[in-house]
Structure 1
Amino acid sequence: MRTGTLLAGAGVLAFSLNFPATTWSLGSFGPWTTAALRCVIAGLLAGGCLLAAGARVPARRHWPGLLVVAVGCVLGFPLLSTLALETTRTSHAAVVIGGLPIATAVVSCLRTGQRPSPVFWGAAVAGAATVVGFVLLEGGGSLTAGDGYLLAALVVCAAGYAEGGRLARHLPGWQVIAWALVAALPLTTLVSTVALTAEPVHPAWTGVAGMAYLAVVTQFVAFVLWYGGMGVIGVAKASQLQLAQPLLTLLWAVALLGERLTPAAPAAAAAVLACIVITQRARG
């Protein structure tokens, strides 16, 4: 159990740099290029790893789940979150994404029939409610276009997380994301090719560094750790570790991007983070 928690926690730490890296990448590449090219590079890396390991093609019964992972985590979330960050601060997006754990837990329970304890649900709902309150507070009582993209990203990513966590009980965790990336390669290659011809490119070291991190770490290595942890401790339990991600991303936004936080941002992130202690102690 401890190994699974450490793996999932390391995945969360790696994911926490996703938004800052995306912001950096947008300084050199357009949004469609950023969203698609990261997946092409990660797909090629994943394909090389599969070939080197001599991995067998998954059984037919696993492919519907792998396609859900591809749609949610390879295609949907990168594009929607990138479009959101064109109009939304990284610090704001970091707190909104705090709703991902509860969304993942709900999808997982509907998909697998798991029944976490009432204490677990109480803490998870409290964390999600804090996120919703933060969004409405900063949006003056209404949602912005960036919030819409982020909330849509939550839905598709939660489905990909839950299905990937379920598959990680049958396949090696790293192969789950690897096969999803490879399955998406034809479409991501097409989109990135068109995007590169339509969107301007302004190479800068921060933009290239951001793209490299997105492709190698966020889109592949972090998922290897994440799905590996989910396969050990379960989707619902692992998903609540991600409640720590908003606070971590806030720290990166200040340290790397020089953003100034509104008073509500760290308060909301701290409240959400407090829920992680309860969810991890709750009996499933």
Structure 2
Amino acid sequence: MKPGLVDGFVGVLVFSLTLPATRAAVAVLDPWFVAFGRLALAGMVAGLTLRLSRAAWPDALQRRAIVRVVAGVVLGFPLLTTLALRHVESAHAAVVIGLLPLLTAVAAVIVAGERPKPAFWLFAIGGGACVVAYTLAHTTFDAALPDVLLLAAALLAAYGYAEGAVLARTMPGLQVIAWALVLALPISLPASLFLLPGVPLDAPWQAWMGFLWVAIFSQYLGFYFWYRGLARGGIASVGQVQLLQTFLTLGFSALLLGEALDPWMLAAAAGTLLCILGARASR
């Protein structure tokens, strides 16, 4: 198994539950509370981890890179997807994941200076086309604003992935996201406390489990594997593993939320997997 591939897949497996878990949470809880609360809870856990591990304070260059990570994957992607999922199903939002690996490859070129071979781009575009074609064929798009929010979220996530992966070459991946979450606490914690009085504490357990998943796993622990994989195996190359996230998300959406699923997903997933392997071999 090539370096970074297993780590990348574990990260994708964790992330694949993000949209269904968020959907379960915002079905009952205020989406603004879910958006800021997940960041605040993850930030407090991250701060405790940094304290206990006696992690060194990032230097000036690292701090600037962490600010960019905050903009991409700590504030940008969670806030925009949470707001969009108030209006659309997680299966609908999975189109974001169809575009994200290709956008991540572009970000790898711009941010990290990677130079994939032409064959890589053919496989990357082919994999993205499989995911997007399947999603478009099985989703009714009748909400323009949520789609704009999801596209903006994908752009910010790709940027945050690339910045974080570069940073993970000089510090552990878990510290990258931990410092980013701690840096965001002056925004996320006051916002969460302000919104807390309006939160129904007797909400169904499914809503709270969804909230806890996106806070602890999607927003924090999953990034340890994801940034480690991107740093070890190449941002553009390992980023293509995320093409599988759409199909994993659709599967979890069907299993946990009862959303529709069909056999064509298997064919599209198989085609996507072949493109991932081709992109990996041609990088």
- TM-score normalised over the length of structure 1: 0.91
Contact 2:102 2:128 in 1 (8 A): yes
- Cα 1:217–1:79 shift into 2, 3 Å: same
Residue identity opposite 1:91 in structure 2: A
Q: CA deviation digits over 1:207-264, x for unaligned, max 9?
A: 1111111111111110011111112112111111111100111110111111113787
* Alignment-derived partner of residue 16 in structure 2: 16
**Partner residue in 2 for 1:230:** 230
Q: Distance in 1 between matches of 2:139 and 2:249?
A: 20
Taking a change above 3 Å as real, the CA distance of residues 270 and 96 of structure 1, as seen in their structure-2 partners, is farther
In structure 1, distance between residues paired with 2:274 and 2:247: 11
Match of 2:259 in 1: 259
Contact 2:131 2:243 in 1 (8 A): no
In the alignment, what sits opposite 2:56? 56
Percent identity for Structure 1 against Structure 2: 42
Per-residue deviation at 1:69? 0.8
| Structure 1 residue aligned with 2:76 | 76
Deviation of 1:132 after TM superposition, in Å, equals 4.8
**Preserved contact between residue 31 and residue 83 of structure 2 (Cα < 8 Å):** yes
Aligned positions of 1:76-95 closer than 5 A:
76-95=76-95
Instruction: Give the alignment's TM-score, normalised by structure 2.
Output: 0.92
Secondary structure of residue in 2 paired with 1:2: coil
* CA shift for structure 1 position 141: 8.1
Matching of residues 137-216 of structure 1 within 5 Å: 144-197=144-197, 202-216=202-216
* Alignment match, 2:123: 123
Count of residues in Structure 1 that have an aligned counterpart in Structure 2: 283
CA distance in 2, matches of 1:141, 1:225: 33
Find the aligned partners of 2:95 and 2:267 in 1 and give their Cα distance.
10
Q: 2: CA distance between counterparts of 1:263 and 1:84?
A: 27
| 1:195 counterpart SS class | helix
Give the letter aligned to residue 107 of structure 2.
Answer: V
**Deviation of the 1:128 alpha carbon:** 3.0
Answer whether contact 1:92 1:265 (CA < 8 A) is retained: no
Number of the residue aligned with 1:32: 32
Mapped to 1, the partners of 2:80 and 2:271 lie a distance apart of: 26
- Superposed CA RMSD in Å reads 2.2
* 196-205 or 272-281: bigger deviation: 196-205
**Which residue does 2:248 correspond to in 1?**
248
Structure 1 unaligned spans of 5+ = none
Give the superposition deviation at 1:152: 0.6
Aligned counterparts of 2:51 and 2:141: Cα–Cα separation in 1? 51
1:104/1:161 contact within 8 Å kept: yes
8 Å contact from structure 1 (residues 98, 272) kept in 2: no
* More displaced 10-residue stretch of structure 1: 131-140 or 62-71: 131-140
Q: SS state of the match for residue 4, structure 2? A: helix
Q: Which whole-Å CA distance do the structure 1 matches of 2:142 and 2:274 have between them? A: 26
Deviates more, 1:273-282 or 1:83-92: 273-282
Deviations, residues 19-50 of structure 1 (Å, cap 9, x unaligned) = 11111111331111111101111101111111
Are the counterparts in 2 of residues 14 and 222 from structure 1 also a CA contact under 8 Å?
yes
* 1:52 Cα offset (Å): 0.8
